[in-house]
A and B are shown apart, each in its own frame.
Chain A
Amino acid sequence: MALIEVQNLKKSFGDNEVLKNITFTVEKNDVIAIIGPSGSGKSTMLRSLIHLEEINGGTVKIAGEAFVEQGVYKRPDVIKKATAKMGMVFQQFNLFPHLTVKDNLELAPKMAGKKADIAAMTSDLLQKVGLSAKEKAYPKSLSGGQQQRVAIARALMMNPEILLFDEPTSALDPELTGEVLKVMKDLAEEHMTMIVVTHEMGFARSVANKVVFMDGGEIVEAGTPDELFGNPQHERTKAFLAKNLK
């Protein structure tokens, strides 16, 4: 069974149709890179999966359970149960500035009343992202790359089955993207299911097992990195890659 199934997803902002009939599936352990020009609808599509955007038509199933079917949303508890299977990492990190790194990680599991040893998880995850020494630091005192690594650890605290990344390195100075991509690569190697909207072609090519090219609110082409980068079928894909692969 596919972990995520999206059928005929449609989304408009007023008269502006930003997603036209998007259909795709995500299998367990997939690492999917979504690429495409700005304004192609990549981020909106990703945000729709976790209910940060309301779609106007289509179905989204998470682990076989639809939280929106033919454009009609289910009850809030059904939506919450489905979206709780996913974690999300934002372009702007969106850490809570008034909380320390440790409290950023621990707030959500504590609020959810998790029984697990939260403190132990915190220290494991901070070690994993290489920030054990920053437990008591506030986000403001961290570099962008460090903040994004904290954000990844924070998302992992809720034990998501799927992690969504919305241009996780686009707000970073070029010399800081590497440390974040490294953490993401480690997660991929541990078989975390991931969907990554990105402009990092190198990452898409070397870490993803599937690359989706979107343009004008549609999926133009999808395939393995070798197929998409090595032998693109569509003119639009070719034009985009010609501009973005240097």
Chain B
Amino acid sequence: MADYWSSVILPMLEGAQMTLLLFFIAIIVSVPLGFLLTLAVNSKIKLFSWLATIYITIMRGTPLLLQLLIICFGLPMIPGIGEYLTIDRFAAACLGFILNYAAYFAEIFRGGLLSIDKGQYEAAKVLGLTKSQTTRKIILPQMFRVALPSVANESITLIKDTALLYAVAVPELLHFAETAVNRDFSIVPYFIAGAIYLIMTIILTIFFKWLERRFKYE
């Protein structure tokens, strides 16, 4: 039993650390980046709005796996500049997740903005609030509240998507499970991996449910 712990479970838990590290880096950077993209889409400057829309269309419209492959293996193959585009595999994967998830978060926040009644802007205006006061005090808090369930959903997807690291050979949870399965010729490690993913997503779900209750405004 102690053997099984050190040869199978411990490496998988170490792999899960990689999963969590990627998750936190991706979420911490892609949420604000997604928000900036939302602002760009809604910008009065046509060029910004146009570029942001194209960006979101491409990132949402192509597989994340393909994007990861391009960033990890594709860029270094470009003649001439490829050698400068070779970065650490894990860093490259983080970059891929951030760029992809920012596009999804941008769409979620855009939906949140659209849901805000025009009466809110009008009430703020007749009370003499400036545009920036209205945005900070009235619009953004409501936008984040509306977006919360979708952000929760996307975050759970992100936890599971970290398994794509397997495809770019960054050792994470699934990688160690796969190694153990092949070595021991047993499917048990798959189920242990599943259980670890499940524990992570359940904790995340509980956290977001708490956030939703905390900001219920009732």
Partner-B contacts on A (CB < 8 A): 50-52, 80, 83-84, 86-88, 90, 92, 94-98, 107-108, 111-112, 138-141, 154-155, 158
Contact = CB atoms under 8 A, between A and B. Distances in A.
A51, A98, A140: which has the most chain B beta carbons within 10 Å? A98
B126 interface: yes
A111 B217 contact: no
Contact of B137 (A111, A140, A141): A111
Contact of B128 (A98, A140, A141, A158): A158
A96 B129 contact: no
A50 B128 contact: no
B217 A154 contact: no
Interface residues of B, number: 20
Contact of B123 (A80, A94, A98): A94
Contact of B127 (A97, A108, A141): A108
Contacts of A140: 217-218
Given A97-B142, A98-B142, 14 more contacts: A52-B122, A52-B126, A83-B126, A84-B128, A86-B126, A90-B122, A108-B129, A111-B128, A111-B133, A112-B128, A140-B218, A141-B218, A154-B127, A158-B128
A96 B117 CA distance: 10
B123 A90 contact: yes
Contacts of A51: 125
Contacts of B137: 107, 111
Interface string B180-218: 000000000000000000000000000000000001011
Contacts of B141: 98
A62 to B, nearest CB: 13
Interface string B108-132: 0000000001011011011111100
A80 B128 contact: yes
B145 interface: yes
Contacts of B218: 138, 140-141
Contact of B119 (A80, A90, A111, A158): A90
Interface in B86-121: 117, 119-120
Contacts of B145: 98
Contacts of B117: 92, 94
B120 to A, nearest CB: 6
Contact of B217 (A84, A98, A112, A158): A98
25 contacts: A52-B122, A52-B125, A52-B126, A80-B128, A83-B126, A83-B128, A87-B127, A88-B122, A88-B126, A90-B122, A92-B117, A94-B120, A94-B123, A96-B142, A97-B217, A98-B141, A98-B145, A108-B128, A111-B130, A111-B137, A112-B128, A138-B217, A138-B218, A140-B217, A155-B126
